[in-house]
């Protein structure tokens, strides 16, 4: 960010199309973080997973709850669950042989807040 001030942006001739900025733009680093969040939501299977989990009683479901309605192989379901976990939308709690994935409270709502930074 300090680099910006070093540039002599006092160009008078290029006034043709380029208009000045009214406020700061997002940094490239922050943009990557925002994109990572949305990329996790950018797959129909993962959207359905979140919907199924959210539709369960305690907003919690195990892998076997998901495999059948999604009609996907078990490793594929686990793969998507990991992505949703890494993105902060789900948590995993293992009870016995089963792994229960639960919605992180407020994680979906906070997506709206992420957009405010753009």
Partner DNA sequence: ACGCTCCATCGAAGAATGTCTATATTGACG
Partner DNA sequence: CGTCAATATAGACATTCTTCGATGGAGCGT
What is the C-alpha separation between 43 and 63, in angstroms, rounded? 18
Please give the angle made by the CA atoms of 38, 41 and 54, to the nearest 5 degrees. Answer: 130
Kindly write out the interface string for residues 54-93 of this chain, putting x where it contacts a copy of itself by CB under 8 A and - elsewhere: xxxxx-xxx-xx---x------------------------
CB of 112 to DNA, least distance (A): 22
- Which residue, 93 or 117, has its beta carbon nearer to DNA? 93
44: left (phi over 0), alpha (psi -120 to 50) or beta: alpha
- Which residues is 31 bridged to in the sheet? none
Question: What is the token pair recorded at 105?
Answer: 């409270």
Residue 82 binds which one of DNA, a copy of itself, none, with CB within 5 to 8 A depending on kind?
A: DNA
What is the dihedral angle through the alpha carbons of 98, 43, 48, 113, rounded to the nearest 10 degrees? 100
Q: Which of the ranges 20-28, 52-60, 80-88, 104-112 carries the binding residues for DNA, by CB under 7 A?
A: 80-88
- Which residue, 5 or 71, has its beta carbon nearer to DNA? 71
Where do contacts with DNA occur on this chain (CB under 7 A)? Answer: 16-17, 39, 42-43, 45, 62-64, 67, 72-83, 92, 94, 96-99
């Amino acid at each position: 960010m300090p680099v910006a001030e070093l540039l002599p942006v006092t160009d008078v001739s290029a006034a043709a199309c380029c208009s000045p900025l009214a406020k700061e733009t997002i940094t490239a680093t922050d943009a990557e973080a925002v994109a990572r969040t949305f990329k996790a939501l950018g797959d129909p299977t993962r959207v359905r997973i979140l919907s199924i989990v959210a539709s369960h009683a305690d907003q919690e479901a195990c892998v076997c709850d998901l495999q059948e309605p999604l009609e996907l192989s078990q490793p594929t379901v686990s793969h998507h669950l990991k992505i949703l976990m890494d993105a902060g939308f789900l948590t995993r709690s293992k009870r016995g042989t089963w792994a229960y994935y639960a919605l992180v409270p407020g994680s979906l709502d906070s997506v709206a807040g992420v957009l405010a930074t753009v």
